[in-house]
Amino acid sequence: MPAFSSPLSSLIVLLSYTYAVQTHLTVEIDNGVIGEPEVQCGSDSISLLFNSRNPFTGKVFVKGFVSDSDCVMMGDNKNTHRFTVKHNSCGVRRQREIFITKVDRAYRLSCFYVEGTKKVQQQLDVA
Hey, where are the domains in the chain? 8-110
Separation CA 62–CA 91 (nearest Å): 8
Three-state SS annotation for 84-100: EEECCCCCCEECCCCCE
3-state secondary structure of 122: coil
pLDDT in tens, the chain (127 residues): 343 333 344 455 555 444 444 444 566 667 888 898 888 888 788 899 999 999 988 888 888 898 999 999 998 999 999 999 988 889 886 554 444 433 446 667 777 666 666 676 777 777 6
Angle at 84 between CA 28 and CA 60, to 5 degrees: 15
Separation CA 110–CA 98 (nearest Å): 6
Angle at 115 between CA 111 and CA 120, to 5 degrees: 175
Tell whether pTM > 0.75. Answer: no
